[in-house]
Amino acid sequence: MEKIIGSLLIILFIVSFTDNAQANEQQDNSNYFKVDLTGYEVYSFGDFNQIGYKITPLSQLFLGIIQTEQEWIDEPRFYIKGNKGYFHLWKKDGTNVIYTIEKQTSGDLKDVWKIVDVRRKKINRIPVPKKLLKDALIERLVDPIFNAVDSYYGEPKLWFRGDEKVLKIKNYKGGINVTVQVMTFEGAHNPPYGEETITFQISSGGNVKVLKYKHRDIPENEWTKLQLR
């Protein structure tokens, strides 16, 4: 599946590194590295791991990089626009890695993708406001929340987007457990209203599963407290 990225700015952090995959690696002492991904297409594991999928130079490069890096958290991704692109992953030890890649346009290696630069930095903490981290976490859980609510009710259900609450985050050996709460409703913000408290387990590989689901009917005397739109 291909996704078109609109206006997007990824902050990727960088440091010293070893010569890897015959690429030129550079050191950058700034606090962040900005990459403008406007108009880039996103490729991930699902695009290169389908039955009958033809092996292409791009998929070969993707597999070669993940074999070199060996481990990561969240899903590694390619960002491609024309003959240029980036590969990004975030490692469990706190290292953020970005590869700059190019497709050859002439010669014996025409149409072959190659690595032209690798940048990385190991950090102990990402200096991001808590609200942005909360928003990013909720955005990651939108589909799992939808599926969990759908499974509970047996049909799709709407909830107040933007009013989700992160109640608890707890580390475990293979990732984190996250408890979120959403308020569901019918149609155009009509009752009955429900309070759904869901605990998800997010593995270091990015897989999400529901650990616990708790529903509460919101009584009419509490409706005035809801921020209805």
pLDDT tens digit sequence for 168-227: 888 887 788 999 999 998 876 677 889 999 999 988 778 899 999 999 998 888 877 765
pLDDT digits (tens, 9 = 90+) for 6-50: 222 233 322 222 233 334 444 443 435 678 888 888 887 767 655
pLDDT at 34: 75
**150 — pLDDT class (breaks 50, 70, 90):** very high
Cβ atoms of 82 and 94 closer than 8 Å: no
Q: In the chain, where do the E strands start and end?
A: 3-4, 9-12, 33-36, 41-43, 73-81, 84-90, 95-103, 113-122, 158-159, 165-172, 175-186, 190-203, 208-217
- The larger pLDDT score, comparing residue 174 to residue 144, is at 144
Q: What is the pLDDT at residue 172? A: 80
Query: How far is Cα 47 from Cα 115, in angstroms, rounded to an integer?
Result: 20
Domain with CATH 3.10.450 in the chain: 130-225
The CATH classification number of 130-225 equals: 3.10.450
Asked if residue 33 lies in contact with residue 95, where contact means CB atoms within 8 angstroms, the answer is no
Mean pLDDT over the full length of the chain: 76
Max avg pLDDT among 126-135, 138-147, 219-228: 138-147
Tell me which residue of 119, 122, 126 sits closest to 28, measured CA to CA.
119
Report the pLDDT averaged over residues 152-179: 87
